[in-house]
Amino acid sequence: MSDRILGVLGGMGPLASAEFMRRLTLLTPAERDQDHVPALLVSDPRVPDRTAARLHGGEDPLPALVRGIRVLEAAGCGAIAIPCNTAHGWYDGMTAATALPIIHIVDAAEADLLRQGVRPGRIGLMGTAGTLAMRLYQDRLESRGWECMVPTPEEMASHVSPAIAQVKANDITGAYAPLAEIAGRLMARGATAVVLGCTEIPLGIDAGPVLPFPVTDTIAALARASIAWAKA
């Protein structure tokens, strides 16, 4: 039985957070309730849109993120997981605001690639326009031997961004086809695996046939990293 409480800063979107809690449970070896990881989820969908803040001068989400961190601190959490890739654009601001370690979703994604036997090289990266523009994956992973190929601006506008919005509006099944199409194109351009670097994307991808190539689901990857922390 673990007494380390995982803090989950979520609601971005709320379905991804719920799926994170589900994966956290299903990926934990357990025989009974008491074997599972204690966790506190702040599901605050009111956090201002991260991509809008970065690309279009929208409201800064950092104060809302820090407000959630304060709740997790007050409840005695020992670490924080954030099942939203784009929110990691404010990682430095958040770590400056708390003494708690924040499990970085890009590191979790890299660990998941390696777990699947994918070696450093050329990978496909799908994410929000904000995540791609901030180079969250590129700047963290390229020094470690990874090269990230991203969809074209036209593919983002026609396929990826609308599909992410569909998931946030609860249209999961409708998001499958456009997301699977772009993942397939990235493989055709030479990727050895595709990172689903927005937590709405695996929700859409899970709604249809399994993709015939290695894929890193950043919800599951963050859940694995969180369980490793809880059981350490």
Return the residue of 9, 42, 108, 186 that touches its own copies, per CB under 8 A. Answer: 42
The one segment of 68-76, 114-122, 124-132, 188-196 that binds its own copies by CB under 8 A: 68-76
| Choice between 70 and 189, CB closer to its own copies | 70
Closest approach of Cβ 74 to its own copies, in Å? Answer: 6
Return the residue of 40, 55, 100, 149 that touches its own copies, per CB under 8 A. Answer: 40
The one segment of 71-79, 118-126, 132-140, 214-222 that binds its own copies by CB under 8 A: 71-79
* SS3 state at 123: strand
Q: How far apart are CA 231 and CA 36, in angstroms?
A: 10
| Choice between 42 and 191, CB closer to its own copies | 42
| Choice between 38 and 93, CB closer to its own copies | 38
- From residue 151 to residue 180, the character string flagging contacts with its own copies as x (rule: CB under 8 A) and all else as - is --------------x--xxx----------
Q: Does 62 bind its own copies (CB under 8 A)?
A: no
Other CB atoms within 10 Å distance of the CB of residue 164: 27
Length of the chain: 232
Closest to 68 measured CA to CA, from 48, 47, 99: 47
Q: Does 14 bind its own copies (CB under 8 A)?
A: yes
The one segment of 41-49, 85-93, 102-110, 206-214 that binds its own copies by CB under 8 A: 41-49
Residue located via tokens 């784009």: 86
DSSP letter (8 states) at residue 23: H
Residues 186, 151 contacting (CB under 8 angstroms):
yes
Q: What contacts 199, CB < 8 A, 6 or more positions away?
A: 12, 13, 16, 19, 20, 83, 84, 85, 218, 219
Residues 80, 9 contacting (CB under 8 angstroms):
yes
Rule CB under 8 A: which residues touch its own copies? 1, 3, 11-15, 17-19, 21-22, 24-26, 28, 30-47, 49, 71, 74-75, 165, 168-170
